[in-house]
Amino acid sequence: MVKTTSLLGKMAGNRTSRRGFLQTAGVTALGGAALAYPLSRDGGLIPGAHAQEGKIPDFVKSKDLDALIKHSGKTYETKRGFIGTSVVTSNDIFYVRANLPEPTDAILDDRNGWEVAIEGVKNPGKMTLGELKNLGVQTVATVLQCSGNGRGFFAHETSGSQWTVGAAGCAIWSGVPLKTVIDAMGGAADGAKFITGTGGESLPDGIDPKTVIVERSVPIEAMENALLAWEMNGEAIPLAHGGPLRIVHPGYYGVNNVKYLTKVALTEQESEAKIQQTSYRVRPVGEKGAPDQPSMWEMSVKSWVTNPVETASPGKVQITGVAMGGLGDVSKVEVSTDGGKSWQEARFVGPDLGKFAWRPFVLETELAAGTHTIASRATNEAGDTQPEDLPPPPRGNAHNGWKAHAVDVKVG
Amino acid sequence: MVKTTSLLGKMAGNRTSRRGFLQTAGVTALGGAALAYPLSRDGGLIPGAHAQEGKIPDFVKSKDLDALIKHSGKTYETKRGFIGTSVVTSNDIFYVRANLPEPTDAILDDRNGWEVAIEGVKNPGKMTLGELKNLGVQTVATVLQCSGNGRGFFAHETSGSQWTVGAAGCAIWSGVPLKTVIDAMGGAADGAKFITGTGGESLPDGIDPKTVIVERSVPIEAMENALLAWEMNGEAIPLAHGGPLRIVHPGYYGVNNVKYLTKVALTEQESEAKIQQTSYRVRPVGEKGAPDQPSMWEMSVKSWVTNPVETASPGKVQITGVAMGGLGDVSKVEVSTDGGKSWQEARFVGPDLGKFAWRPFVLETELAAGTHTIASRATNEAGDTQPEDLPPPPRGNAHNGWKAHAVDVKVG
């Protein structure tokens, strides 16, 4: 685990590149006309293809679209200037990212009747959400962040949504601790090394399920903080965010927090799904994804400025942003208004929601007329500081270099 | 102040009763046909009269109406079972209460251009919201609660919305500290004893403005925590909650947190508005509201169960609820499943957002078949515990008696 974290800090991985996909196995059926969903050459959904042009899909209708950048009909990020200083990110402006078409609203009609299979335990079986709610309650605040957040800042060509900073938000989740559930099922089966969560999206016909299913494994050490969650920021989890039931792994990239959870298994091996085996793997440019590369698991230390981002008036200004520590507390944030030549320590504002949450920060300063390059640089309790840039060869994921995240602000 | 708090703990006040209103001064024009809004005999808006029957007003359209009890077209409370364990209450399910018809959405078109007058300072003047944002940033979590929350539990007849528990929510607010603004205007004028906030709602023609304007004064000691806030739970404050700018007085009842803020004045006297002089006054049943009675300012210690509230299955259950300390931290919550004969201490769950926030609590227990009266009883750091009931004569506000807030749950 430590090795992975450190790798993620030193380099950046990528999803399977589209160009490389046809060399992977088991996907010869891909060009078939019988597919239920429009798929790209790598088996991923074609961005925007699911949603009719100009139409907002139902599952994002409750969103404040003025606050979002639309990358496709089911892919939205929060605009940089709309990320506030209230610690939590409102569900109305929270980013949306889906690997498969979302289920219909009908799955929310009987939330408490939703069933999840618990496997890899002494007494495997199914539990309903209603039963889970009687078993235990815990609440944790955590940043949820797509591992591709920041992809748009890479200088080289990258495949996938060109996220800037807004494929991330901080939410407070309530659910039952996974370990409570496992205990109720007799404890882990022998040899369990991973927690494997399976999503409940419908799969297209005529294609090997492994190539599209959302099924992710994380090291069993994540058990300590894992929740089977039914509540997000005080309301029943919206469909766009995985309701009725989602697995939440605090400190882990978004893809691991499987939505519409239908199965949790403690497994000896990682899932055989493509999304686990070859996608979301950290590797140099030019290499194909492979199971022996580090997976997109733990997040790393990161921060970005949220105001000002384009223009400001000369004089006093409050430079604000958010900073996260990854798997541990963020301990310091510095802000530069000269592109990194000099730094000043910012102060954190608002309540501290715990080590997995992000912390809004503020630096009060004066800006003269002209153009200023404003950057932020966070350090976590382990002493990890954001790098200026990722050492070559950077890929399309896990970007936490402070330089590329800076903004040029025109003052005057 | 201490005297007031203690009074609020020992008795409960009420809004001016409708029956008593015509004896107050300056309202002879009330019956006039020229009024822009339908008013009741006491000059308050007739519940539901503003909204066309069956129509949802624009300013509540973004709400999750399944989670709300509608008292009138502009008065909604959160259903008891929808108050979660995530500390914050989502804006989508947050209660709505307005003393006057809300302004139109147009006031949100240029949030940063919104002007607020600052008076009762050495250098009075106006500031735009854009200017306030450059002046300072602070973030605080606080319960917002209508002083009438719980009114529906009084055994005697009460006027006003028959709130149960849901005219309350906990939100995280960002804005500039009021003291920073006052300092920027040269400091307080001599003799200032109150902070008086004025709302920007349009006032009906043909009626003395004092009888309807939303203008509330709180003791100047509230300066320590007061915010001029533009953000609520991570998003720009929605219209229903006072955007673009609201004054937030952590620990004070909702009415003091004036919406659509157009003026803040440091004053020697309390506002002359009826909403300050005679409404929201703590007094015995039968007495009219008067300025020498305690005003609905500081909130008191309170809690209520949110699950289960109607039925449950026999066996293990997680009894959840929320508890607040008023002006200070809540330190303990006890839960009874036998109507108060015996009590067990519950545990708090989730992050502590500070002394003005509420804390979700959980008691894990077993319930046998039958009907159980489940109650909760909170104690704050000052040692104040919720009373079993309010000593007679209770009125229609500030109800924090644990007995009336209990639920009868049928198990089996």
**Residue in A88, A95, A176, A237 to test binding to B, most B beta-carbons within 10 Å:** A88
Which residues in chain B are closer than 8 Å to A313, comparing Cβ atoms? 134
DSSP string, B74-115: TEEEE-GGG--SSSS--GGG--B--SSPPPPGGGGTTGGG-E
pLDDT at B117: 98
Contact B353 A357 (CB under 8 A): no
Residue pair B244/B237 in contact by the 8 Å Cβ criterion? yes
Nearest-CA distance from B391 to chain A in Å? Answer: 34
- Is the Cβ of A67 closer than 8 Å to some Cβ of chain B? yes
What does the block give as tokens for B63? 């709400």
Q: So what's the pLDDT on residue A265?
A: 98
Query: Minimal Cα distance from A364: which residue of B?
Result: B136
Question: Is B174's CB within 8 Å of A89's CB?
Answer: no
The beta-carbon neighbor of A234 closest among B89, B138, B320 is B89
Interface test with A, best of B65, B87, B137 (most A CBs within 10 A): B137
pTM: 0.87
Using CB atoms, pick whichever of B137, B313, B362 lies closest to residue A85: B137
Q: Decide if B341 contacts B327 (C-beta within 8 A).
A: no
| Local confidence band at B59 (pLDDT 50, 70, 90 cut-offs) | confident
Mean pLDDT for chain B overall: 86
For residue A167, the distance in angstroms to the closest alpha carbon of chain B comes to 15
- B172 touching A, CB under 8 A? yes
Tell me if A91 and B86 make a contact (CB, 8 A cut-off): no
The residue that leads in pLDDT, B152 or A324, is: A324
pLDDT, tens only, B67-118? 999 998 889 999 999 999 999 999 999 999 999 999 999 999 999 999 999 9
Instruction: Say which residues have a Cβ less than 8 Å from residue A313's Cβ, sequence separation at least 6.
Output: A411, A412, B134
Q: Which of A44-53, A122-131, B2-11, B317-326 has the lowest mean pLDDT?
A: B2-11
Provide the pLDDT for residue B178: 98
Average pLDDT over residues B17-35: 27
State the pLDDT at residue A6: 28
pLDDT per residue as tens digits for the range B207-262: 999 999 999 999 999 999 999 999 999 999 999 999 999 999 999 999 999 999 99
Gap between the Cα atoms of B387 and A345, Å rounded: 48
Cβ of A334 under 8 Å from any chain B Cβ?
no
Chain A CB contacts of B133 below 8 Å: 307, 318
> Can the peptide bond before residue B308 be classed as cis, meaning omega within 30 degrees of 0?
yes
Give the nearest partner residue to A350 out of B139, B320, B352, using CB atoms.
Answer: B139
Q: Cis peptide leading into A391, omega within 30 of 0?
A: no
pLDDT in tens, chain A (412 residues): 223 322 322 223 322 222 222 222 222 222 222 333 333 333 333 333 333 345 667 777 788 989 999 998 889 999 999 999 999 999 999 999 999 999 999 999 999 999 999 999 999 999 999 999 999 999 999 999 999 898 888 877 787 888 899 999 999 999 999 999 999 999 999 999 999 999 999 999 999 999 999 999 999 999 999 999 999 999 999 999 999 999 999 999 999 999 999 999 999 999 999 999 999 998 887 889 999 999 999 999 999 999 999 999 999 999 999 999 998 899 999 999 999 999 999 999 999 999 999 999 999 999 999 999 999 999 999 999 999 998 655 567 888 999 999 999 999 9
Across the interface, of A92, A234, A313, the residue whose CB is closest to B88 is A234
The interface residues of chain A toward chain B in range 128-157, judged by CB-CB distance below 8 A, are 133-141
**Burial (Cβ within 10 Å: 0-12, 13-18, ≥19) of residue B37:** middle
User: How confident is the model at residue B395, as a pLDDT?
Assistant: 65
Ramachandran quadrant class, B152 (left: phi over 0; alpha: psi -120 to 50; beta: rest): alpha
Q: Which residue of B has its CA nearest to A78?
A: B235
* Structure token digits, residue A259: 């939505």
Instruction: Give me the pLDDT at residue A358, please.
Output: 98
d(CA B356, CA B398): 17
CA angle B251, B78, B398 (to 5 degrees): 40
Residue A54: per-residue pLDDT:
53
Q: How much is the pLDDT for A392?
A: 57
The β-bridge partners of B300 are: none
Look at residue B283 in the predicted model and tell me its pLDDT: 85
Tokens of B43: 């000059």
> Which amino acid makes up residue A107?
I
**Residue B22: pLDDT band by 50, 70, 90 thresholds?**
very low
Instruction: Average the pLDDT over each of B37-46, B256-265, B305-314 and give the range with the smallest value.
Output: B37-46
B365 within 8 A of B317, measured Cβ to Cβ: yes
Which residue type is seen at A294?
Answer: P
Q: Which residues of B touch A136 (CB under 8 A)?
A: 318, 364
pLDDT at residue B50 in the model: 37
pLDDT given at position B28: 25
A174:B62 CB<8 A: no
Structure tokens at A41: 């050459």
What local confidence, expressed as pLDDT, does residue B26 receive? 26
Nearest CA in chain A to B365: A134
B92 and A235: CB-CB below 8 Å? Answer: yes
Q: How far is A355 from chain B (nearest CA, A)?
A: 10
Amino acid B23: pLDDT: 25
Chain A interface test: which of B64, B138, B139, B241 (most A C-beta within 10 Å): B139
Measure in Å the smallest separation between the Cα of B369 and chain A Cα atoms.
15
Q: Does B362 touch chain A (CB under 8 A)?
A: yes
Per-residue pLDDT at A62: 80
Do residues B149 and B167 make contact, with C-beta atoms less than 8 angstroms apart? yes
For position B358, what pLDDT does the model report? Answer: 98
